[in-house]
Amino acid sequence: MKKPRVCVVGAGVIGLSTAVRIQNELPNYDVTVLADRFSPDTTSDGSGGFWQPHLVGGDNQDMVIQWGRDTLNYLFYLATSPLANRLGAQMVSGYSFFSEPQCPEWRHLVLGYREVDSREIKLLFPRARFGMFYTTVMIHVKAYLSWLMSRFKHNNGNVIDARIDKLEDLVKEYDVIVNCTGLGARKLINDHDVTPIRGQVTRVKAPWVKLFMTYQGTHGHCENYILPGADAVVLGGTGQEGNWNTGVDDEDRKMILEGCVEMMPSLKEAEVVRHWTGLRPHRTSGVRLETERLAKGKLVVHNYGHGGAGVTLHWGCAGQVVREIRTAFTPNFSRL
């Protein structure tokens, strides 16, 4: 009996984690990852790797919470395991400030969530009108992708470096195609609901920073954040809808530094490691995670459009893809 063949298209955090979960949980399946970009050149690589549902579309908060919970549990496990150093997986605590009061659904998922009182806001960041303190997880995405890839290959996963023009090109060879192409889905399957939200960051050396700090204002997508990673502190950022520029913008660079220095003056002289820009694959109607049946019992499972919440949702979404395949897939030869 021929093993069912799965092709995961895309090798960012969504694609690789999906491929690994399929291997682990559907061991009868033959899994291939096909992509035209691999770590360290994917969008995921430059991200802060910070768990917090952010810039993800759609009204369906329930699924975001479910996937987010599964992912956070997994990340907590990694951060407290002997693998923590290799993955730069860290439990980390800190403040998120806002220009308006918030009541996020995910506050029950993180640890030790509390609202910050006005005295503390005045002391720390007077510009804000609201603040929260909590404990979450941050991961070094590049290291994580590298680890996922080595697990994938170790379990006999097949990797193809190629570009395809349409998903149909894969139907002949594969029984299940998992579409993890992010922004690429716009062209690949003509989903114009997918648009970029441009994010620029600066990584600096500032090892005295142990707490994160973020600020979101309502004026012009103002967002500044300081995320202390294992190898560098990530300073951000921007959230420019519809902006396709993958270069480093000097005005943005200045705005990021100034905003972060306002939050933490000691960052003023921090040594810059590098600037980076990525295009978050946002989808207005939210993450598309669903199965499309093709002829001859073949399937396409879509798993794209995670916006700024790729790392935050990846593991939970990958688990859902496995469930979709398990319930929907019927091998070509048997129908009884």
Partner 1 sequence: MKNDHQALYFRDQFEGTSGAGVIGLSSAVNVQLLIPGVDITIIADQFATETTSDGAAGHFGILSERTNADTKKLSRWTHDSFEWYHQLYMSEESNSAGVLRLFGYQLWSSKRPAPFHSKFDYTFRELSKKELQRLPGNHTYGWAQDSLMVECRRYLPWLLKKFKDKGGKIVRRRLNNINEIGESYDVIVNCTGLGSRTLFNDKMMVPIRGHTIRAKAPWIKHFYIGGNGDTYIYPGQDNVVLGGTRQRGEECLKKDQKYFDDIIDRCCTLVPSLKHADIEKLWVGLRPWRSTVRLEMEVISINDRRLPVVHNYGHGSDGVCLSWGCGVDAAHLVKEQLGQTGAQQTLSKL
215-244: buried (b, 16+ CB within 10 Å) or exposed (e) per residue? bbbeeeeebbbbbbbbebbbbbbbbbeebe
Query: Angle, nearest 10°, between helix axes 13-25 and 310-328?
Result: 40
152 lies in the site for partner 1, by CB under 8 A: no
91 lies in the site for partner 1, by CB under 8 A: yes
269 lies in the site for partner 1, by CB under 8 A: yes
207 lies in the site for partner 1, by CB under 8 A: yes
Q: Are 48 and 225 in contact (CB under 8 A)?
A: yes
Under the phi-then-psi rule, with left for phi > 0, alpha for psi from -120 to 50, and beta for the rest, what region is 290?
beta
Taking CB under 8 A as the criterion, the residue among 268, 293, 323, 326 binding partner 1 is 268
Q: Edge-to-edge strands of the sheet including 158-161?
A: 158-161, 30-35, 5-9, 176-179, 299-304, 288-293
Output the smallest distance, CB 274 to partner 1, in A.
Answer: 17
Output the smallest distance, CB 191 to partner 1, in A.
Answer: 37
- Draw the binding track, 60-89, toward partner 1 (x: CB under 8 A; -: no contact): ----------------x---xxxxxxx-xx
Stretch touching partner 1 by CB under 8 A, among 144-152, 262-270, 289-297, 320-328: 262-270
Tell me the pairing of strands 90-98 and 30-35. unpaired
Burial class for 115, CB neighbours closer than 10 Å (0-12, 13-18, 19+) = middle
Output the smallest distance, CB 142 to partner 1, in A.
Answer: 14
Taking CB under 8 A as the criterion, the residue among 24, 60, 218, 266 binding partner 1 is 266
150 lies in the site for partner 1, by CB under 8 A: no
Six-digit token string for 121: 């806001």
Taking CB under 8 A as the criterion, the residue among 40, 153, 166, 208 binding partner 1 is 208
Q: H or E stretch including 34?
A: strand 30-35
92 lies in the site for partner 1, by CB under 8 A: yes
206 lies in the site for partner 1, by CB under 8 A: yes
The residues binding partner 1 (CB under 8 A) are: 76, 80-86, 88-94, 111-112, 120, 133, 135, 140, 206-211, 228, 230-231, 265-266, 268-269
